């Protein structure tokens, strides 16, 4: 794996911390009942979005799922646009029509997210096929969870992607749960990535909570897809801290093993990277400065977003197609 210097790792740390603090701010304000869309937070999973998207150009494309805030922000989506979208304002990235689970920002190369499990997977492959037919060097990345691996369309898409040798990078965020059902109750006792390899993809597995490992695996996969080596598959192990849908933690419901959530918190991507930076001699003051700048950015973004307006009634029939 290619090693990162301190400056590069500090940049990845800053990107992860930004996503973490934005998600925490959303959770804090969600209880005010002004965001009326269901919201799936990615707290605990930030390293995957950051480590993968760090290698993408603006012209590369990303597709996502219901838990897509981190992917959207890591790809360069507008923070004000995201917040305004959660509030249903016209200034949102989808004009206030989509909410948390329907994000799109074509200017950032973030094409679409959707709550339908597996819904964006074949669309991402179709987009990658289009890029290939245009002879571009662009790569398409599709993020999905371990629950999506149980959808037939995912396996159909892998078959097609290998058949056409598409510039597609498939990123499975294996957070061990589909809503509240653990992986071992849904799938046989085996890793996911060898199944992708059996379809013919180049497939690897890694620790999704170590951003430097994600960064290295993604670097190789994205370069391979860009250079014509066909579709790539990354299985990255992680864990979401909050409830499946909503701003709270729900460990008291008992669907996790006792101590499981705490064990994953001890493997926090930010804690791991922070320790690595400290060992490399990065001063605590530098991290504090990053924290303060992110806090100021988030406060300003909420202020700007909340100054927005709901969509006009006259625009209700816009963007509808027959």
String of DSSP letters for 160-222: HHHHHT--EEEEEEE-SEETTEEGGGTS-SS-SHHHHHHHT-EEEEEETT-HHHHHHHHHHHH
What average pLDDT does range 276-305 have in this prediction? 96
> Is 118 inside any structural domain?
yes
Report the number of distinct structural domains present in the chain. Answer: 1
176 has a pLDDT exceeding 60: yes
What pTM does this model have? 0.95
To the nearest 10°, report the CA torsion of 67, 70, 72, 76. Answer: 180
159 is a domain residue: yes
Q: What integer is the mean pLDDT of 198-211?
A: 98
Residue 321 is assigned to a structural domain of this protein: no
Radius of gyration over alpha carbons of the chain, in Å?
A: 19
C-alpha atoms less than 13 angstroms from C-alpha of 28 in its C-beta half-sphere: 9
Q: Taking residues 147-169, what's their average pLDDT?
A: 97
Q: Which of 282, 254, 307 is nearest to 9 (CA)?
A: 282
On whether residue 317 sits in a domain, the answer given is no
CATH code at position 183: 3.40.50.970
Is pLDDT of 98 > 80?
A: yes
Is 322 contained in some domain? no
Q: 184 lies in a domain?
A: yes
What pLDDT, on the 0 to 100 scale, is given for residue 46?
Answer: 98
Which residues form the domain of 177?
6-305
Q: What is the pLDDT of residues 58-81, one digit of tens each?
A: 999 999 999 999 999 999 999 999
Confidence of residue 1 (pLDDT cuts 50, 70, 90): very low
Is residue 312 one of the residues assigned to a domain? no
| 314 occurs within a structural domain | no
> Over pLDDT 70: what percentage of the chain?
99
Q: Does residue 2 have a pLDDT over 60?
A: no
Mean pLDDT of 271-296: 96
Q: Is the dihedral of CA 130, 232, 176, 263 positive or negative?
A: negative
């Amino acid at each position: 794996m290619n090693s990162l210097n301190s400056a590069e790792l500090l940049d990845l740390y800053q990107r992860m911390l930004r996503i973490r603090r934005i998600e925490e701010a959303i959770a804090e304000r969600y209880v005010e009942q002004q965001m009326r869309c269901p919201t799936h937070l990615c707290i605990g999973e930030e390293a995957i979005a950051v480590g993968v998207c760090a290698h993408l150009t603006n012209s590369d494309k990303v597709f996502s799922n219901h838990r897509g805030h981190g992917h959207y922000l890591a790809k360069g989506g507008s923070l004000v646009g995201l917040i305004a979208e959660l509030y249903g304002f016209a200034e949102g990235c989808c004009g206030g029509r989509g909410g948390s689970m329907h994000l799109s920002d074509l200017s950032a190369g973030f094409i679409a997210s959707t709550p339908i499990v597996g819904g964006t997977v074949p669309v991402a492959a179709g987009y990658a096929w289009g890029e290939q037919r245009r002879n571009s060097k662009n790569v398409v990345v599709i993020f999905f969870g371990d629950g999506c691996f149980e959808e037939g369309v995912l396996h159909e898409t892998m078959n097609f992607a290998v058949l056409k040798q598409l510039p597609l990078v498939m990123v499975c965020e294996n957070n061990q749960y589909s809503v509240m059902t653990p992986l071992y109750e849904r799938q046989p006792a085996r890793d996911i990535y060898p199944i992708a390899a059996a379809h013919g993809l180049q497939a690897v597995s890694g620790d999704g909570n170590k951003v430097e490992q994600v960064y290295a695996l993604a670097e190789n996969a994205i370069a391979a897809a860009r250079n014509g080596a066909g579709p790539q598959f990354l299985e990255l192990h992680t864990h979401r801290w909050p409830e499946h849908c909503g701003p709270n933690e729900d460990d008291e419901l008992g669907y996790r093993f006792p101590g499981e959530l705490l064990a994953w918190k001890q493997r926090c991507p930010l804690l791991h990277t922070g320790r690595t930076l400290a060992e490399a001699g990065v001063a605590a003051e530098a991290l504090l400065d990053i924290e303060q700048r992110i806090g100021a950015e988030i406060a300003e973004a909420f202020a700007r977003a909340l100054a927005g307006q709901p969509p006009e009634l006259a625009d209700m029939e816009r963007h509808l197609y027959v």
